[in-house]
Amino acid sequence: MMSVAAYVGVGAMLLLWIAGNLYRREKNKNRVIYVAVDRCIGCRRCVKRCSRHVLEMVNDEAGAHVEVKYPGKCTACGDCLGKCKFNALKMVDRV
């Protein structure tokens, strides 16, 4: 059986986690992912990483590359950034 101290500890950790998420959401609400098409080689690593399906592959006159298809769904979580080995992704202010 858990002691009172353990309940307090778990509760405090939960509150910190919630506060951290709210802070990150507020901080990122005016940010969005941007793709530098000239650097993108179309490896799809970022597409697979984005759980919100913001990014999509396109094949046009610039060749196969990624596009920010649904910017409104981007939470600026940054998960995709670390997947790009070609420095083609960056976070920018929403316009």
Q: x-or-dash pattern for ligand SF4, window 26-65, by CB under 6 A?
A: -------x-x----xxxxxxx--xx-x-xx----------
- 24 is a site residue for ligand SF4 (CB under 6 A): no
Backbone phi and psi for residue 49, each to the nearest 5 degrees, phi listed first: -80, -30
Least Cβ distance, residue 95 to ligand SF4 (angstroms): 16
Q: Which residues bind ligand SF4 (CB under 6 A)?
A: 33, 35, 40-46, 49-50, 52, 54-55, 66, 74-80, 83-84, 86, 88-89
